[in-house]
Amino acid sequence: MRTTLLVIAKEPLPGRVKTRLVPPYTFEQAAQLAEAALSDTLAAALTVPACRRVLVLEGRPGPWLPDGFEVIPQSGGPLDERLASAFAAVRGPALLIGMDTPQVAPELLAVEWEGVDAWFGPAADGGFWALGLRVPDPDLMRGVPVSTPDTGAAQLLRLREAGLRVAVLPLLRDVDTAEDAAAVAALAPGTRFAACLARIAAGWDDRP
């Protein structure tokens, strides 16, 4: 079964993304880092066999968006509702990831479904960086508390209480703080994200 890859993201605009990086970074620098992280994520998704690649976007596409993606708007409401709406927009097996893990390796996204009903990617902050469902069911996300240290555990419990056979992906670290940014760049020095962070540290502006 081919998988639909969903990437849920915000348009990387200053003051709208990665605001927890400020300070020490400026809002403009935080947006540059967000754009680099999103570009890395989209590039990884492009290399994985998929029946569809869908960007679930808050905002407008920009020059950072490569060919090969459909774009659908994010719904409003809290994160659990936005995740539920993303899954409601597709049929068949789907894997959803965010834009906060530029270190993600393409092989982590090439999930298989034999004997598996759901994939779960835990994040180091207690959330999750990936969620996959063989049969998309928006109700599996609705009502799960978001943005708490227990969000990931609550979502995983919801999947298991539904009787799903869950496979767990490796733990990854989201980029939320300056400490996260430095750690992720060190783990993945060949990424656009790491290069952008290095340019900012060197005092170079990433944009004209």
Confidence grade of residue 76 (pLDDT, cut at 50, 70, 90): confident
Asked whether 196 and 32 are in contact (CB, 8 A), the reply is yes
d(CA 132, CA 181): 25
Question: β-pairing, 4-10 with 52-58?
Answer: parallel
Q: What's the chain's Rg over C-alpha atoms?
A: 16
* pLDDT number for residue 208: 41
Question: Could you report the per-residue pLDDT of 176-187, keeping only the tens digit for each?
Answer: 999 999 999 999
Q: What is the pTM of this model?
A: 0.94
**Starting at the edge strand that comes first in sequence, how are the strands of the sheet with 70-73 ordered?**
70-73, 52-58, 4-10, 94-97, 128-133, 118-122, 166-168
Question: Could you report the per-residue pLDDT of 39-64, keeping only the tens digit for each?
Answer: 999 999 999 999 999 999 999 999 99
SS3 29: helix
CA 33 to each of CA 17, 22, 51, 124, 199: distance values in angstroms, whole numbers, following the listed order:
9, 12, 29, 19, 10
Own/partner pairs for 154-161, CB < 8 Å, 24+ apart? Answer: 155/120, 155/128, 155/131, 156/120, 156/122, 156/128, 159/117, 159/118, 159/120
d(CA 84, CA 186): 33
Q: Which residues contact 81 (CB under 8 A, 6 or more apart)?
A: 75, 141, 142
